[in-house]
Amino acid sequence: MDIKSVALLHPGNMGATIGAAAATSGARVIWASQGRSKTTQERARQAGLVDVETLTDAVRESDVILSVCPPHAALDLARTVAEHRFKGVYVDANAISRTTAKQIGETVSQAGATFVDGGIIGSPVKRAGTTRLYLSGSRAPDVAELFTASMLDAKTIGAEPGAASALKVAYAAWTKCTDALLLAIRTFAAVEGVDKALLQEWTISQPDLERRSNQAAAVAAPKAWRYVGEMEEIAATFQAAGLPAGFHSAAAEVCARLAPFKDQTEPAPAIAAVIDTLRVNGKQR
Give pLDDT, residue 281. 84
Is residue 137 located within the same domain as residue 181? no
Is residue 132 located within the same domain as residue 221? no
Is residue 265 located within the same domain as residue 154? no
Q: Which of 160, 184, 206 is the last residue of a domain?
A: 160
What's the mean pLDDT in 51-55?
Answer: 95
Give pLDDT, residue 216. 97
Is the confidence at residue 2, as pLDDT, over 70? no
pLDDT tens by residue, 165-196: 999 999 999 999 999 999 999 999 999 999 99
pLDDT tens by residue, 211-243: 999 999 999 999 999 999 999 999 999 999 999
The CATH code of the domain that includes 201 is 1.10.1040
Question: How many CA atoms does the CB half-sphere of 261 hold within 13 Å?
Answer: 31
Q: Which of 120, 139, 160 is the last residue of a domain?
A: 160
Element (H, E) at 275: helix 271-283
Is residue 57 located within the same domain as residue 13? yes
Is the confidence at residue 161, as pLDDT, over 70? yes
The CATH code of the domain that includes 26 is 3.40.50.720
What's the mean pLDDT in 33-62?
Answer: 94
User: Contacts from 46-49 at CB under 8 Å and sequence distance 24+?
Assistant: 46/16, 47/11, 47/16, 47/17, 47/19, 47/20, 47/23, 48/20, 48/23, 49/8, 49/11, 49/16, 49/19, 49/20, 49/23
DSSP for 183-239, please give it.
HHHHHHHHHTT-HHHHHHHHHHH-TTHHHHHHHIIIIIGGGGGGGHHHHHHHHHHHH
Residue 25 pLDDT grade (very low, low, confident, very high; cuts 50, 70, 90):
confident
pLDDT tens by residue, 79-88: 999 999 999 9
What's the mean pLDDT in 107-124?
Answer: 96
pLDDT tens by residue, 195-210: 999 999 999 999 999 9
Range of the domain at 234: 167-283
Q: Which of 132, 160, 188 is the last residue of a domain?
A: 160
Please provide the average confidence, as pLDDT, over all residues in the chain. Answer: 94
Is residue 124 located within the same domain as residue 20? yes
Is residue 193 located within the same domain as residue 253? yes
Is residue 110 located within the same domain as residue 251? no
Q: What are phi and psi of 31, to 5 degrees?
A: -155, 170
Percent of the chain with pLDDT over 70: 98
Is residue 225 located within the same domain as residue 279? yes
Is the confidence at residue 264, as pLDDT, over 80? yes
What's the mean pLDDT in 248-254?
Answer: 97
Give how many domains the chain has, as a whole number: 2
pLDDT tens by residue, 89-99: 999 999 999 99
Is the confidence at residue 1, as pLDDT, over 60? no
